[in-house]
Amino acid sequence: MPKFSIILPCYNAEATIGDTLASLQAQSVTEWEAICVDDGSSDATCAKIQRAARTDPRIRLVRNSGKGPSRARNCGATEYASADLLAFCDADDLWHLQKLADLAQAFTDPAIDGAYGQIAFFRDSPKDASVFSSVPRSDLSVDMLLGENPVCTMSNMAIRRDAFLRSGGFDETMVHNEDLEWLIRVVGRTDTKARARTDTKGRARIVGLPALHTYYRSSHGGLSTDLEAMLNGRARALETARALGVTASGSSHAVHHRYLARRALRLDLGRVAALRHAITGLVHSPRGFFSPFRRGALTLACAAGATVLPRALRRSLFS
C-alpha cells in the first residue's frame, strides 16, 4: 500500500501536466500513487497521463463522476485513494523533490492531522520565482485563513484520509475559494470522536512546515485571477466561519484585501484594481493592513504607483 495518495484534478492541462507528473516522479519518497481525475478535458491531457501511466504504474487516470474541481477532489479522495495520507496537487503546479519526505516526517507525530509548507510563485520557470509565501509558527487557525491564508493553494496541502472524511469533503457547489471554505471546516469544527489527533478544543490540527514545498504557477485567465469571484467565494467561507462561532476581525479583512491588492499587481489586472483593494483593506483596519508595516507600506505604494505607470513597466516591476 502506498504511503501517500496524490489527488490531481485536471482539465485541459496538456501544456503543464507533463511537468507536474515529472515533479511527482522526482520525489525522494517513492511510495505514492497519483490519482489523476479528469474533468472532461477536450485536449491531449488524458493521452499524456495515459502515456505516463504506461511506464509508471503509480499514475492512474480516472474520470470525474460529476463536474468541477471540488467534485474531482472528493471523487479521488473518497472513491479511489488507498493511502492513509492524502496530498493534493493541481495540474499546473510543481512540487519540490523533498516535499513528501518532509510530510512523511511530520506525520510521524500522531497529534498532526494536516500539514503544508512554503510556496514559490513563478510564471515561466520555477528558477524565476522571486515571491515566496510565509509559514506561521503557530497551528493553522480560522482567523489566519480569513486573512492571508498561508496554505494558499490545495497543491500545498496534505491531510490524513480519516480527517478528510470527517470534514465531509469539498462543497461541490463552489468553484472559487472552495479550498478556503473546506479548511475553515477542518480546523474550526469540533469533533469529540477525533480527540486522539486534535488539539484541546477538539479541532483538527494543521501545521506549517518551514520548508519550500510547492511551486505555484501564476497565469492569466485562471480561476484565481478572477478576484471578484474569489471575494464571492470568500463570502461563503465567512458564512461557514460564522456557523462555527467565528466572526472575521477587521484585521483579517484588511490582510485579505492586502493580499488581493498584491495579487492584482502580480497579475496586472489593470491600473486601479490593486489600489481599490488596498483602500478597502485600510478602511477595514489600518493597523491590520500595516502589520507588518513593511508589507503594508510596500503594497500601498505599489498599488498607487500602478495607477500612473505604463503597462509594460507595471508588468516588469510587479509580475
Tell whether omega for the bond before 292 is within 30 degrees of 0, i.e. cis: yes
The pLDDT value recorded for residue 225 is 54
Strand partners, 89: none
Q: How far apart are CA 272 and CA 209, in angstroms?
A: 35
Whose cell is 479511489? That residue is 80
Please give the grid coordinates belonging to residue 179.
Answer: 479550498
The pLDDT value recorded for residue 161 is 97
In DSSP notation, 25-68 reads: HT-S---EEEEEEE----SSHHHHHHHHHHH-TTEEEEE-SSSS
Local confidence pLDDT in tens for the 319 residues of the chain? 899 999 999 999 999 999 999 999 999 999 999 999 999 999 999 999 999 999 999 999 999 877 889 999 999 999 999 999 999 999 999 999 999 999 999 999 999 999 999 999 998 888 988 889 999 999 999 988 988 899 999 999 999 999 999 999 999 988 788 999 999 999 986 433 333 333 444 468 999 999 999 999 976 445 455 677 777 778 888 889 998 888 888 999 999 899 889 889 988 888 999 999 999 999 999 999 999 999 999 999 999 999 999 988 888 888 6
The pLDDT value recorded for residue 114 is 98
- Which stretches within the chain are classed as H helix? 17-25, 45-55, 69-75, 99-106, 142-146, 161-167, 178-188, 227-243, 250-267, 273-284, 286-289, 293-305, 311-318
The pLDDT value recorded for residue 319 is 67
Buried b (16+ CB within 10 A) or exposed e, 8-29: bbbbebbebbbbbbebbbebeb
The pLDDT value recorded for residue 38 is 96
